[in-house]
Structure 1
Amino acid sequence: MTRVWKWNRPVTVREVLEDLQQERTIAYTTVMTVLDNLHQKGWVRREAEGRAYRYEAVSTRAAYAAALMNDAWSQSDNPAAALVAFFGMMSEEQRQALQDAVRIVQGPETRQAPEAVEPRAAQAEQQENPGSAEGAAGR
């Protein structure tokens, strides 16, 4: 899959083979079998081109990683503990990426500046305890 994602376009067995052979010796039939297995599992789609096929990833590498993480998390008998353990393994860069991702998922309508949160919290407290703000101001 790494080689298919690398090009980000439909690739032939020959192209993947030639790329892999720069690092190690590998047989054409091995690459063909792996790509066929990936097709049967639904990870790549293929289109005939002459006597060969062109293979293309069905999803992005990021979507694949997300599916793996979701699968692992859903198998936990204690998802919260699994997340805590996972976050504990993260590097500082990974934690920053996680915070950035959460901000993106939340969207601009849920993001609040700290100054915007304070007045709402004070307003909610005042509604619960109507005399508390006056008493606090006089202290």
Structure 2
Amino acid sequence: MPHLGKLEAAVMDVLWSTNAPLTVREVLERMPPQRNLAYTTVMTVLGNLLRKGLLEREPVGRAFSYRPTVTRQGAAAASLREILDASEDPRLVLLHFAETATDEESSVLREALARRATTS
């Protein structure tokens, strides 16, 4: 998963928050007003995200609509995988995370690992 800049993350947030593909204009209209972005800026960001493989697009009249190719959760998991892969000792990263995980997070991890063990 490629790293996202702040504006890319904001655009992905807009796309993840809807269940329908959006045009450049629709993304721009849903961006926080304090951003005060130009249409061409949003178009460029969408193009960058498309090239990174995070979006797909389809023609809609004379424009394109964009939709994510990965869920928000999938993107977060891919970011964690990237961190682990880049770490000198991924075990230490996982151990530190386990020590800081909430009881609920620990429970979810235990359940997922148990399911994985039974399907392997």
Q: Give the TM-score, by structure 2 length.
A: 0.78
Q: Which runs of 5+ in 2 are unaligned?
A: 1-11
What is the CA distance between 1:23 and its match in structure 2? 3.7
For residues 62-108 of structure 1, give each alpha carbon's deviation from its aligned partner in whole angstroms, at most 9, with x where no partner exists: 01100110111011121111112233444x2xx41242143034229
State the structure with bigger RCO (CA 8 A, min sep 6), 1 or 2.
Answer: 2
Counterpart Cα distance in 2 of 1:82 and 1:21? 35
Judged with a 3 Å threshold, the aligned counterparts in structure 2 of structure 1 residues 21 and 74 are, in CA distance, closer, same or farther, namely closer
Q: Verify the 8 A CA contact 2:84 2:93 in the aligned structure 1.
A: yes
Q: Which runs of 5+ in 1 are unaligned?
A: 111-139
Q: Verify the 8 A CA contact 2:98 2:106 in the aligned structure 1.
A: no
Larger radius of gyration: 1
Query: What secondary structure, in the 3-state scheme, does the structure 1 residue paired with 2:17 have?
Result: helix
Matched, 1:9 2:9: no
Match of 2:115 among 101, 107, 110: 107
Q: Give the TM-score, by structure 1 length.
A: 0.68
Matched, 1:65 2:76: yes
* Superposition pairs of residues 90-129 of structure 1, within 5 angstroms: 90=101, 92=102, 95-107=103-115, 110=118
Sequence identity percentage: 38
Q: Which amino acid aligns with 2:111?
A: R
**Corresponding pairs, count:** 107
Q: Verify the 8 A CA contact 2:15 2:22 in the aligned structure 1.
A: yes
Counterpart Cα distance in 2 of 1:79 and 1:105? 17
